[in-house]
Copies of this chain bind each other. A is one copy, B any other.
Amino acid sequence: MARKKVQLQWIMNDTTRRTTYKKRVKGLMKKAKELSILCGVEACAIVYSPYDPQPEVWPSPMEAVRVIGEFECRPENDQTKKRLNQENYIRQRVAKAEEQVVKQQKKNRRMEMDNLMYQSLAGGRGLQDLNIKELSDLMRSIDDRLKPISHKMEYSHHPAPQPGGAPALTAVPVAQKTPLEVALESLENQILMDTAPQPQDGVVTVAHTAGQDMMFPVPHDNYEDPSFWGAPFFP
Residues A81-108 near B (CB distance < 8 A): 81-84, 86-98, 100-102, 104-105, 107-108
How far does the Cβ of A54 sit from chain B's closest Cβ, in whole Å? 5
- Residue from A122, A130, A210, A233 having most chain B Cβ neighbours under 10 A: A122
- Do A210 and B118 have beta carbons less than 8 Å apart? yes
Copies in the complex: 2
Q: Which residues of B contact A118 (CB under 8 A)?
A: 101, 104-105, 119-122, 135-136, 139-140, 143, 210
How far does the Cβ of A66 sit from chain B's closest Cβ, in whole Å? 7
1/0 per residue, CB under 8 A from B, across A104-137: the answer is 1101110111111111111111111111111111
C-alpha gap A12/B95 in the complex (Å)? 7
Given contacts A124-B154, A134-B149, A191-B149, contact A48 B24 (CB under 8 A): no
Interface size, chain A (Cβ < 8 Å) = 204
- Residue from A29, A45, A116, A143 having most chain B Cβ neighbours under 10 A: A116
- Residue from A163, A188, A222, A229 having most chain B Cβ neighbours under 10 A: A188
1/0 per residue, CB under 8 A from B, across A1-37: the answer is 0000010111110100100110011111111111111
C-alpha gap A20/B36 in the complex (Å)? 11
C-alpha gap A40/B228 in the complex (Å)? 10
- Do B105 and A148 have beta carbons less than 8 Å apart? no
Q: Which residues of B contact A116 (CB under 8 A)?
A: 97, 101, 121-124, 127, 132, 135-136
Choose among B31, B95, B212 the residue that contacts A37 (Cβ–Cβ < 8 A): B212
- Do B153 and A32 have beta carbons less than 8 Å apart? no
